[in-house]
Amino acid sequence: MWTTIFVGIYVLLTLFIVLSIILYGAKPTKSLAWLLAIFALPVGGMIFYLLLGRNRRKRKLIRLKKNMFSRLPWPNTAQKNVFNGRYSKLMTLCYKSSHFPPTSNNELLLLKDGRTTFEAIFYALENATIQIHIQYYIFEDGELAIKLFELFKRKIEEGVVIRLIYDGIGSFSLSKKYLNQLVDIGVEVYSFLPFKFGRYFSSLNYRNHRKIIVVDGAIAFTGGINISDKYLKGQVGLGKWHDMHLRLEGPSAKQLDQVFMTDWYLVSTKLLQPLELSPRNLDSVSNELVQIVAGGPDDDFPVLEQTYFSLINMAKKYIYITNPYIIPGQSLIRALQTAALSGIDVRLLVSENADNRVVSWAVHSYFELFLKSGIKIYLFPDGFLHSKIMVSDDAISSIGTANLDDRSFEQNYEVNAIMYHKEFAKLLKEDFLNDCKVSNELRYNEFIKRSWGKKLKEGFGKVLSPLF
């Protein structure tokens, strides 16, 4: 009797899971992989699917976002006569998918390393008078954390409101003692999707990879740099961390504040009111056109993948990309290959050293395909290169948090700034070429002679990369 009941439950559960995969699987290859896993390992495959494969958490996030959009007060940053010129279609794409229009009257400052970045950040924080919004994927204990705590304490005594979001997985090493101290002095602190065993195990897939600071709704910072001492001191066994950040002032800072406020609603269900910038603040900055692009698993379309795809396809002379994790899907592979085969100068700059060996193998697994297409690849040998930069044709550039992989496009909450500005693009191009001069260029005829052992590692890395 019990055997019959068990078999019946097993058959019904298997049928339910198979139908779920067929009906809701977004990618045929991924759906096929799950089906094969279930039939090859009946019990184990089903358990893994129930824990990792279902999109229950994603559907909940989508519902929450729709509710949020109907309630949040969106600031009016729309301006006339900005949806024009060569990149008007890209502007429209990003606006429809991410809801932020391009804005003028912005001032930009490129911050080329950790020390310069934190000097600019602390200067802005010290001058805050109303509120400070901080959001990071990685927030670690250390000298920076202590310095921030001391600053927070002073600012709260001055009446400044401070709100902090940290990712529940990326900042797993942040001590409870430090967090409790922040709460004790009056900082409003929330963890983004903290992992709780037995409940929404699939939330591990959806991380907030954004790095945002907004001071008084007027000055903002974003880019690749987290709150970690390794950006100042380096990392044992890896060396110096090379990264870039961006300081923005003007309407684009207001848009980054809105990104923070949407995430604040996700973690707290509390609505925040945007601060109104005075005309004097807007008039005091320069005329640089910027568009904030925020993407996440609760979006209808993979806006950051679409943005990168469009930037590559719209290039006429060159497209230069700096990124530590280039593990692209077929659409971006084809876009990069097509650009290179069309005579466009396509260059990729990646770190020669790795913070994750398996991911590094996955990145290297695409090199032969790229080199064969005429794409130039440079390996940066000094420490670890963590920047996420794209620049094209001395006309347009992107700095942000998104890598070139499916995790950034489909599972992480990310944010990039698109700069439609010639001088800024030239600045990034110059920096890119200087890095290439001190890097090791790969040659196709030499690379294809690598050992079978390396090829095997690359294969394993490609297969396992979705887990990292």
Residue with token string 């089903």: 46
Beta strand 241-242 pairing with 103-111? unpaired
Active site residue 393: yes
Quick one: which of 129, 106, 73 has its CA closest to 281? 106
CA atoms within 13 Å, Cβ hemisphere of 132: 27
Contact assessment for residue 28 and residue 264, using Cβ atoms and an 8 Å cutoff? no
Task: State both tokens at 114.
Answer: 């950790």
Q: Is 300 helix (H, G, I), strand (E, B) or coil?
A: coil
- Rounded alpha-carbon distances, angstroms, from residue 10 to 15, 37, 234, 355, 411: 9, 16, 52, 42, 30
Q: Cα separation of 106 and 282, whole Å?
A: 8
Query: How far is the C-alpha of 455 from the C-alpha of 468, rounded, in Å?
Result: 19
Here the tokens at position 250 are: 């003007």
Q: Catalytic: which of 58, 242, 254, 388?
A: 388
198: left (phi over 0), alpha (psi -120 to 50) or beta: left
Q: Is 233 a catalytic residue?
A: no
**Closest listed residue to residue 377, CA positions, set 392, 364, 394, 358:** 364
Q: Which of 58, 155, 216, 298 is catalytic?
A: 216
Residue in 58, 133, 230, 386 annotated catalytic: 386
- Give the phi and the psi of residue 7 in degrees, each rounded to 5: -60, -40
Distance (Å) of CA 402 to CA 177, 326, 398? 31, 10, 10
Query: Exactly one of 58, 133, 155, 211 is catalytic; which is it?
Result: 211
* Identified catalytic residue from 58, 155, 209, 457: 209
Catalytic hit among 167, 393, 405, 431? 393
209 is catalytic: yes
Active site residues: 209, 211, 216, 386, 388, 393
